């Protein structure tokens, strides 16, 4: 059977709510994303509970710090046995290399992906933080940086997916957040 491609975001503020949704899902049909708010409230115990129910976990903590700190954080995520973990590509080449090095001696390492440009950021916000040009150009530049560091893939808008596949290859993993029906509210998402 093929591995599930759907990642269900457990964007809840209470672990109980996340566990209720997980109870209605099939582990062979989807994976689960645990982000900052839920992990801060539920911690490693919540991740372990979801894993015991058979789910692969994408630990979406977007590590972005000095290289040594990110290396240790990625290793801690690997020690939890998560399926995927992410870092910010804007942390730079040394930080990305340190994140990758954290997994060198892990028997079954998680997929390591880099956040390129947050999908909540539009052109005005990119310019305000010193990233001129089009979002897709910045995403491609950061995607190349992640690939050069040996990461497995990136988080990007679905709008940039075709460009990244063409430039970075079919084996480079793309995670596209914020996917929803056209009629649904966009929330704080800008590029979905």
* Catalytic center residues: 62
| Cα–Cα dist 175/68, whole Å | 25
Vertex 98 angle, CA 92 and 103, to 5° = 135
Burial of 117 (0-12, 13-18, 19+ CB in 10 A): buried
Q: What are phi and psi of 113, to 5 degrees?
A: -125, 160
């Amino acid at each position: 059977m093929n591995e599930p491609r759907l990642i269900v975001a457990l964007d809840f503020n209470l672990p109980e709510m996340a566990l209720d949704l997980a109870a209605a899902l099939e582990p062979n049909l989807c994976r689960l994303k645990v982000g900052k708010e839920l992990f801060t409230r539920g911690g490693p115990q919540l991740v372990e509970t979801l894993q015991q129910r058979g789910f692969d976990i994408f630990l979406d903590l977007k590590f972005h710090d000095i290289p040594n700190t990110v290396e240790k954080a990625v290793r801690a995520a690997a020690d939890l046995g998560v399926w995927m973990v992410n870092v910010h590509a804007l942390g730079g080449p040394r930080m990305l290399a340190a994140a990758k090095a954290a997994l060198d001696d892990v028997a079954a390492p998680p997929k390591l992906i880099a956040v390129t440009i947050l999908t909540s950021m539009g052109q005005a916000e990119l310019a305000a933080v010193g990233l001129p040009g089009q979002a897709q150009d910045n995403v491609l530049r950061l995607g190349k940086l992640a690939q050069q560091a040996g990461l497995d893939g990136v988080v990007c808008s679905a709008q940039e997916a075709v460009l990244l596949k063409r430039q970075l290859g079919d084996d480079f993993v793309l995670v596209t957040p914020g996917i929803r029906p056209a009629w649904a509210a966009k929330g704080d998402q800008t590029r979905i």
